[in-house]
């Protein structure tokens, strides 16, 4: 038996290639949209992809299962658990085999047993993997978004992201029951989860790639709690805001992702084309580092640096229903690939960074983002001549914030523009300054003339010993 974990750091997402060395057959579980990597990995090991499956209808990335099965001629296997709202619409046309609790199938000499583990989603399944030439007992479990290292899958996404009201508590209770059943398996069972640290699919995911059920029983808070009501309270509190694009991912993965058929590069556009795009309200993403953007950028563009958080913030801020454009320093292929991972396929063209210098002339200047340091901000708050917005997540704000500063997470800024006064200087602040730099660009693109970023964010503020408030303290209204 061969097991290879294929990990996407931007998505904090794990796929698994599991092969039988005797027959050369292999299965890929939870592939993302970059299907070439799985085909290459199998070829490097002398394997052929004969089966493709996934643990559930994903919310945080576009699944590659359908395309990988099509490209390789592999058997597609999909969950048929859950109610009618959580069935794969493309299963029949793709010739998929539908899976149910306790079903088994073979990949060469490797046995896979299906275990229905609802709670994160109604249709979620895990796979118990047995290397039959060695033993009749399972070696490990592909747990998807059910059990992680140090955490368990969140049951609130259907309500918070997919807007299915009243499902959070019911999902939490279902998840508790699934965990109690799972805990009856042998302690030696290895845990191969679908995500690592940094994923929004949980609140405390560990960075260690693998674990065992026995270890998780003593180290994972979600497996330690034996009281159902206590578990429900614990699993629902402190969860991070799910990105708005999660609902779109659910829809795409349920109806069937569009086949990409390989990579493509959008057209390089001439510099003089950007004026018309800005004028018509097109989304233009400047992917340079935040410091470069702050020093000078074309008014109307937004800044999402091409780093490990690029896909997350693009999913929050870039429209899925219309064309958008990029300003890239040569990493256009990387950016297009990362955007495709979450279904943002409508990159209609890109500009090279030289467009920024070309845009500026004696009659118009590049826009800048002013910076402010904590001590200066404290003085201006005392004078009451600024409005400060904390753009971190709610759990971060609850743990401690600048007194009388309201919380609007950066992903929700565009929904709350009417609450932010345009006649005052607006200071945006996050934990370190990275998210607030993105927030500043969003506000500027929406016509806010005087936007300032707090250098060092809340960490810099607290490090100076400046006042801190907590969630139970009343706030003054925005503005």
Q: What is the largest CA-CA distance in the chain?
A: 77
Give the span between the Cα atoms of 186 and 175, in whole angstroms: 19
How many C-beta atoms lie closer than 10 Å to residue 349's C-beta? 18
What pairs with residue 25 in β-bridges?
48
| Positive or negative torsion for Cα 337, 343, 348, 353 | negative
429 backbone dihedrals φ, ψ, rounded to 5°: -150, 135
For 388, the enclosing helix (H) or strand (E) is: strand 386-390
Contact status, residue 411 vs residue 241, Cβ threshold 8 Å: yes
Helix/strand/coil for 230: helix
Q: Of 61, 51, 48, 7, which Cα lies nearest the Cα of 28?
A: 51
Please give the C-alpha separations between residue 175 and each of 116, 190, 214, 279, in angstroms, as whole numbers. Answer: 11, 20, 19, 49
Q: Indicate the burial class of 447 (C-beta count within 10 angstroms; 0-12, 13-18, 19 or more).
A: exposed
CA distance 210 to 188: 12
Phi, psi of 457 (to 5 degrees): 55, -150
| Ramachandran angles phi, psi of 329, nearest 5° | -95, 20
430 is catalytic: yes
Count the neighbouring beta carbons within 10 Å of the beta carbon of residue 5.
Answer: 14
The structure tokens 């209204």 sit at 477
CB 215 within 8 A of CB 13: no
Q: Any bridge partners for residue 155, and if so which?
A: none
Query: Using CA atoms in the order 250, 256, 262, 267, what is the torsion angle rounded to 10 degrees?
Result: -70
Rounded to 5°, angle at Cα 381 from 369 and 463: 80
The contacts of residue 173 (CB under 8 Å, 6+ apart) are: 228, 232
Distance CA 309, CA 329 (A): 17
> Which one is catalytic: 20, 126, 201, 430?
430
CA–CA distance, 5 with 27 (Å, rounded to integer):
12
In terms of Cα–Cα distance, which of 454, 450, 430, 306 is closest to 381? Answer: 454
Q: What are phi and psi of 471, to 5 degrees?
A: -60, -30
Structure-block tokens of residue 212? 């065992």
Which residues are known to be catalytic?
Answer: 430
């Amino acid at each position: 038996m061969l097991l290879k974990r294929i990990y996407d750091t931007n998505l904090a997402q794990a796929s698994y290639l599991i092969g039988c060395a005797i027959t050369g057959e292999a299965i890929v579980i939870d592939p993302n949209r970059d299907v070439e990597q799985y085909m290459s990995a199998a070829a490097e090991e002398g394997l052929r992809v004969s089966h493709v499956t996934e643990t559930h209808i994903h919310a945080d990335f576009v699944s590659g299962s359908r395309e990988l099965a099509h490209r390789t001629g592999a058997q597609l296997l999909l969950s048929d658990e859950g109610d009618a709202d959580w069935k794969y619409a493309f299963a029949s046309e793709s010739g998929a085999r539908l899976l149910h609790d306790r079903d088994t199938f073979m990949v060469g000499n490797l046995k896979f047993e299906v275990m229905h583990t609802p709670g994160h989603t109604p249709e979620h399944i895990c796979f118990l993997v047995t290397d039959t030439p060695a033993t009749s007992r399972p070696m490990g479990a592909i747990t998807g978004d059910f059990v992680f290292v140090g955490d368990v899958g969140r049951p609130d996404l259907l309500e918070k992201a997919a807007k299915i009201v009243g499902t959070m508590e019911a999902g939490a209770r279902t998840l508790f029951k699934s965990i109690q059943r799972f805990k009856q398996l042998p302690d030696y069972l290895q845990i191969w989860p679908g995500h690592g640290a940094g994923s929004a699919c949980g609140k405390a995911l560990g960075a260690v790639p693998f674990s065992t059920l026995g270890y998780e029983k003593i180290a994972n808070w979600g497996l330690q709690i034996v009281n159902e009501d206590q578990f429900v309270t614990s699993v629902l509190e402190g969860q991070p805001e799910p990105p708005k694009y999660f609902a779109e991912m659910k829809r795409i993965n349920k109806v069937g992702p569009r086949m990409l058929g390989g990579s493509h590069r959008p057209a390089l556009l001439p510099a003089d084309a950007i004026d018309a795009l800005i004028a018509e309200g097109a989304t233009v993403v400047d992917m340079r580092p935040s410091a470069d953007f702050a020093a000078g950028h074309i008014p109307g563009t937004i800044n999402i640096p091409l780093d490990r958080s690029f896909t997350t913030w693009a999913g929050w801020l870039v429209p899925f229903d219309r064309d958008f454009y990029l300003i890239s320093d040569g990493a256009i292929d990387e950016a297009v690939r990362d955007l495709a991972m979450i279904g943002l396929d409508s990159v209609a063209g890109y500009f090279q960074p030289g467009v920024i210098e070309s845009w500026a002339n004696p009659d118009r200047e590049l826009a800048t983002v002013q910076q402010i340091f904590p001590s200066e901000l404290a003085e201006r708050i005392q004078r009451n001549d600024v409005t400060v917005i904390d753009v971190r997540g709610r759990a971060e704000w609850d743990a401690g914030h600048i007194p009388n500063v309201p919380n609007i997470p950066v992903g929700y800024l565009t929904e709350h523009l009417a609450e932010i006064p345009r006649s005052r200087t607006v200071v945006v602040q996050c934990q370190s300054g990275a998210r607030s730099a993105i927030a500043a660009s969003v506000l500027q693109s929406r016509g806010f003339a005087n936007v300032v970023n707090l250098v060092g964010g809340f960490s810099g503020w607290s490090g100076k010993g400046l006042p801190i408030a907590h969630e139970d303290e009343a706030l003054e209204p925005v503005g």
